[in-house]
């Protein structure tokens, strides 16, 4: 990239470059969860009263799975 194009690219959009965050494997798991429609399949098989819930059972399962995978690299120390 030439000097003029590089400086032009950094000044577009208010002069700041966009930031990215590392999602590790969680983004892949969440994407496959949606692609395979796992939450929808769970919701089809479980009777739910959506007036009593803020999220469906399928959404809750997805949250629990992602939360559990978030602790994969944590070290467990016995008391």
Q: Is the pLDDT of residue 12 over 80?
A: no
| Mean pLDDT over each residue of the chain, to the nearest integer | 77
Q: Is the separation of the CB atoms in 54 and 72 below 8 Å?
A: no
Pairwise pLDDT comparison (63 vs 13), residue with the higher score: 63
The domain ranges of the chain are: 22-69
Q: Is the pLDDT of residue 39 over 90?
A: yes
What local confidence, expressed as pLDDT, does residue 37 receive?
95
Helices assigned H by DSSP within 1-79: 3-11, 26-35, 38-45, 57-69
């Amino acid at each position: 990239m030439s000097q003029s194009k590089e400086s032009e690219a950094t000044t577009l959009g208010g002069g700041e470059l966009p930031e990215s965050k590392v999602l590790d494997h969680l983004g892949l798991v969440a994407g496959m969860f949606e692609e395979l429609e796992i939450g929808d399949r769970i919701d089809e098989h479980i009777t739910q009263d959506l007036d009593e819930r803020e999220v469906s059972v399928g959404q809750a399962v997805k949250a629990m799975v992602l939360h559990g995978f978030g602790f994969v690299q944590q070290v467990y120390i016995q008391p």
